[in-house]
Structure 1
Amino acid sequence: MTSSDVPDNRWSDLERPPLNATALRRALVRPGSLWTSLDVVASTGSTNSDLRERAAGLDEGAVLVAEEQSAARGRLDRVWSAPARSGLFVSVLLRPSPRIPAERWGWLPLLTGVAVAAGLSRAAGIDTALKWPNDLLVTVEGAERKAGGILAERTADGAVVIGFGLNVSLRAEELPVPTAGSLALAGAVTTDRDPLLRAVLRSLEQWYGEWRAADGDPAASRLQEAYAAGCSTLGRTVRAELPGGASLTGEAVAVDGDGRLVLATENGVQPVGAGDIVHLRPV
C-alpha cells in the first residue's frame, strides 16, 4: 500500500504534500514504456536496498520511491538524510542487454546524471551541473551546492539498481551541511514533486533507450558529449582522493570512453576511474 493511498497523520507540513502514486503510475506505466511498475512507500531504510532484495521477481523498469529514508546511502556508504517529503528518493531497476559490453555499464550512473539534469531543466527551470562522478549541483547565492547524488549497484541476478536522491524543498535551516543545497534554494519555478519526478523519469527513459539502442556506446548515443557539456568538474584544478588513501592533483580535461575522469598532472595525463573529487579552483 502506498503513502498516497492512506493518510499519515504524522505529516502536517502542508507545503510538502505526499506524492500521488496513482497519477504517477497513470502517467508513466503504460504499454511500450520502460517503466513497468511504480510504488511509493511512506518510509524505508533505503530504496536501493529494498529494490535489490526484490529484483529477482521484478521486470526491468520497476520504480520504488520513498517519501522518507532513514538509512539512505551514497557512495562510500555515506548517509543521506532529509525531512519527510522534502525530496525525491528514487531507485529504478534496469536490465541492460547482454550484448552491451560489461565495461560500458559503468556509464549508467553518468547517464542518470545527464537525465536528471535534463529533466530538472525542463520541469524546474534551473540548471543542474554534474560533478564527476555522481553529484548533482545547483547554484545558491552564487555558490555551487550539492543537491543530489546517484548510486548504482549490481543485483544478485545481474541487473542494476540505480538510486538518486534529490533535495527539493529543503530550507536553509534544514540543510545537513553548509555545502548542501536544494531546488527551492536555487530558485526552482516549482517544488511540486509529482511533475519533477515525471520529467526526470521520462528523461531517464529517453537517455537509457538511446544508450541501449547504441549497444552502450557513449559516443554513438551522444551520452559522452552530453555528460561533458554538463560536467562542472571539467576545466578545473581538482584533487582526486583515490581508494587506498593516495591522491592526485591536476586539471580535469576530459571524460574518456570508459567514463573515467582524465587529469593532466605534472607527471602526464592520468585517468581516474574511482575516487572522491575535490574542486580546487573555479573554471
Structure 2
Amino acid sequence: MTEPDRPRRSGLRGFGHDGPSPWTDLDRPPLDAAALRHDLLLPDALWTALDVVTETGSTNTDLTARARAGEAEGAVLIAERQNAGRGRLDRRWAAPARSGLFLSVLLRPRVPRERLGWLPILVGVAAASTIARVAGVEIGLKWPNDLQVEVAGEERKLGGILTELSGDAVVAGLGLNVSLRADELPVPTATSLALAGAEVTDRTTLLRALLREFAELYREWQDAAGDPHASGLLPAYAARCSTLGREVLVQLPGERELRGEAVAVDGDGRLVVRTPDGTRQPVGAGDVLHVRPQPKQG
C-alpha cells in the first residue's frame, strides 16, 4: 500500500543542470530528496524543512545563519559535498562528493539550558543505533563526539558530531563516512561504512532511518525535561561508549594532561576519570586518547 501524498511545507533545492552530473560515479548516487521529504515532513513531526544542496562550505555554518534569522525548529540541511566542514576545535575536513552523510539539524529544545550538553550525545546514540540496526555495523561512541568502528582489530573513526549554540537554538551537525575507499581516507585512523563491511550503504535509506530515530529519542528526552536518567539517554550512551573502562590520556585546555581510567559519564555529560591516586575527576572538555594497555611482563 502506498502512502498518500503529504503536505509539503518548505522549498527544496535539488540538483541543477549546470556542472558535472551527480551520476558520474554510479556507486555514489545522489540522495533521493523527494522521497526523504515525503517520508519525513509529516504533520506534527519534528522535521519541518529538508534541503539538499550540491555543495557548501559547512552545513552547520549555513544553518546557524538561518537559525539567527528565525528559522523554525526542525530544519534539516544536507550537503552532497562539504568543502570546509568543521569539527571540534575548528578542525577542517573534506570528502568526495556523495561519499558520506554531511548534515545539520536545527533544534530549539525546551529543556533547562544546563542540559543542552546532552544533545551531541543524543545524536551519537541515534546514529549508532541506526547504523547497527540498518547496516549491521556495531558502533562505539568515543567521548565526547566521535563514532568509531573496529576494522582489522583497530579502532577507526567513522564520523563526528559538532553542536553549536545560537541564542535559543542548537545546530547539531553530523559527518559520517559511508562509501569512502581506502585510497580516499584522509588519515590512516579513519574508515567508512563500506570498508567496515556494512550491509547497507544506501545514503537515503540510512538518512531516513537516522532522522526518524533521532526524532524519537529527542521527543523522549524533551518529555523528561532533558533529564539523561529519566529519558534513558545516559544508560543508552554508556552501553555504547567505547571510552568507559579504558585507560585514557585527556589533553585539557591550557596544555594540561590527565591520565587515568574512564569510569563513568556523570549527569552533566562529563567524563569521570579515576587517576592513579584514586581521585575521580570530571572532565567537561578535552581531547581523549585511548591508551593501549601495556603488555604484562612474564
Measured against the shorter chain, the TM-score band is over 0.9
Is structure 2 residue 93 aligned with structure 1 residue 57? Answer: no
Q: Which residue of 2 aligns with 1:69?
A: 82
Is 137-146 or 3-12 further displaced after alignment?
A: 3-12
Task: Judge conservation of contact 1:86–1:170 (CA < 8 Å) in 2.
Answer: yes
How far does the alpha carbon of each residue in 1:55-110 deviate from its partner, in whole angstroms, 9 at most, with x for none?
Answer: 1331101000000001000000011211000000010000011xx22111100001
- The structure whose Rg is larger is 2
- Give 3-state SS (helix, strand or coil) of 1:263's partner: strand
Q: Which residue of 1 aligns with 2:215?
A: 205
Deviation at 1:5, TM superposition (A): 6.0
State the distance in 2 between where 1:190 and 1:266 align: 43
1:217 to 210, 214, 227: 227
TM (norm. structure 1) is 0.96
State the distance in 2 between where 1:13 and 1:140 align: 25
Q: What's the C-alpha RMSD, in Å, of the aligned pairs?
A: 1.4
Is structure 2 residue 168 aligned with structure 1 residue 158? Answer: yes
Q: 1:6 to 1:78 in 2, by over 3 A?
A: same
Structure 2 residue identity aligned to 1:128? I
Q: Which residue of 1 aligns with 2:296?
A: none
Deviation at 1:204, TM superposition (A): 0.6
After TM superposition, where is structure 1 displaced by more than 4 Å over at least 4 residues in a row?
4-8
Structure 1 residue identity aligned to 2:36? L
Q: Which residue of 2 aligns with 1:273?
A: 284
Deviation at 1:244, TM superposition (A): 1.2
Q: 1:7 to 1:219 in 2, by over 3 A?
A: farther
Task: Judge conservation of contact 1:171–1:185 (CA < 8 Å) in 2.
Answer: yes
Q: Which residue of 2 aligns with 1:260?
A: 270
State the distance in 1 between where 2:125 and 2:281 align: 24
Structure 2 residue identity aligned to 1:254? A
What is the correspondence of 1:65-144 to structure 2 with a 5 Å cutoff? 65-97=78-110, 100-144=111-155
State the distance in 2 between where 1:244 and 1:26 align: 49
The aligned length equals: 280
* Identical amino acids, percent of aligned pairs: 63
- Give 3-state SS (helix, strand or coil) of 1:278's partner: strand
Task: Judge conservation of contact 1:61–1:92 (CA < 8 Å) in 2.
Answer: yes
Where does the alignment leave 5 or more consecutive residues of structure 2 unmatched?
Answer: 1-11, 294-298
- Give 3-state SS (helix, strand or coil) of 2:186's partner: coil
- Give 3-state SS (helix, strand or coil) of 1:57's partner: coil
Deviation at 1:243, TM superposition (A): 1.1
> Relative contact order: is structure 1 or structure 2 higher (C-alpha 8 Å, sep ≥ 6)?
1
Is structure 2 residue 54 aligned with structure 1 residue 45? Answer: no
Structure 1 residue identity aligned to 2:283? V
State the distance in 2 between where 1:80 and 1:191 align: 21
